[in-house]
Structure 1
Amino acid sequence: MLQIILADDNPRVRAAVQLLFEQTGLARIVAEAETFDELQALFADAELTFDAILLDWELPGMIQYDGTVSDAFLKFLKERYDAYIIVWSSHPGAAQAALQTGADAFVSKGEPVDSLEHILRMLANDTNAHEESA
């Protein structure tokens, strides 16, 4: 089962993701954050282990004063953790920026939940293959 950090400010979205995880048995949420500050604070815990982070591109605090998203944080995740970064947004136009910044996948919040489920299934298969070869 995948271990996921969920970062989204909308409680309804977090509840829907939790329900998806319960129904599919693909993942479980190991930590949650509603703001970028909360998300950054999670990484102060040296014991934090996770397979992926599901990150709302519009998470409060992610947008910098110049209108850009903090790519430094995604670079930090890539360098320090062997984790998959799934960015999602209600703005499909954010896909290119998210992927260029370092996200491994992008999901539009307007797409059916099957899109997220498909990515999680691929990740679960990849993680299982990685663990079996180790």
Structure 2
Amino acid sequence: MTRLLLVDDHPIVRAGYQRLLEMDGAWRVVAQAGSVDEALDLHRQHQPELTITDLGLPGRGGLELLRQLTERDASVRVLVFSMHEGEAMVRRALAMGARGYVSKSSPPQELLDAAACVMTGCRYLCSGLPAHWLQPLPPQGDPDGLETLSDREFEVFRLLARGLTPADCAGTLSLSSKTVSNLQTQIRDKLGLASTAAMAHLALRRGVIEGG
């Protein structure tokens, strides 16, 4: 059976899709995590063959987990299972190394299909999302400039848009205040935005953050 790590900050959700996966008979959940730090520790301990993670994790979030896992091992298999369906978030996760992306609004069977597909070495995008999102976006296809942001800039952008202060971002991402300040300036320059409120408006419109 394929060994899995499940990452979601809601224990009931984790229990639900553990049951779904293990009933299929091809999967065994070896560990569960509710945060980025816990997931990184458990991944190191258990070396799962597949990690299934939400993006909406507390603190640094699932993109940071994805970044760190792929930095450790470029061949790591990560399947995103998330409520986020915005193009910017989906494309960013895939560009950062996710092997597949499944929306939490998908039918249960789709999670099983996606996991099986990823384990064969293929990439997977759930049926509710446009298939062309699996392909890189040409520069002219991104008038807002989000694709020009580095992975670190994108994560700082996401946190600032959620209402965190630069000091909060520094603590959350274990960066210096000066680094975050420089990143904030770079983000504003690349996106042509003058304020954090404008960042939040763009992030909401592109599905990077959810509305309250």
Bucket of the pairwise TM-score, normalised by the shorter protein: 0.7 to 0.9
Alpha carbons 2:79, 2:115 under 8 Å: kept: no
**More helix as a share of residues:** 2
Query: Of the candidates 56, 59, 78, which is equivalent to residue 58 of structure 1?
Result: 56
The aligned residue for residue 84 of structure 1 is 77
1:39 aligns with 2:39: yes
Cα distance in 1 between the residues matched to 2:76 and 2:67: 12
Kindly provide the amino acid, as one letter, of the partner of residue 100 in structure 1.
Answer: A
Q: CA deviation at 1:79?
A: 4.6
Superposed, 1:1-134 pairs within 5 Å as 1-45=1-45, 48-63=46-61, 69-70=63-64, 73-81=65-73, 82-93=75-86, 94-124=89-119, 126=120
The count of aligned residue pairs is 118
Q: Which runs of 5+ in 1 are unaligned?
A: 128-134
TM-score for the superposition, normalised by structure 1: 0.76
Larger radius of gyration: 2
Q: Normalised by the size of structure 2, how large is the TM-score? A: 0.50
Q: Which has the higher contact order (CA 8 A, sep 6+)?
A: 1
Identity score, percent:
34
**For 2:20, what is the secondary structure of its paired residue?**
helix
Gaps of 5+ in 2: 122-212
Aligned CA RMSD, in angstroms, stands at 2.1
Higher strand share: 1
Tell me the alpha carbon deviations over residues 45-84 of structure 1, each in whole angstroms, 9 at most, x when there is no partner. Answer: 3xx2211100111111233xxxx942xx434423534431
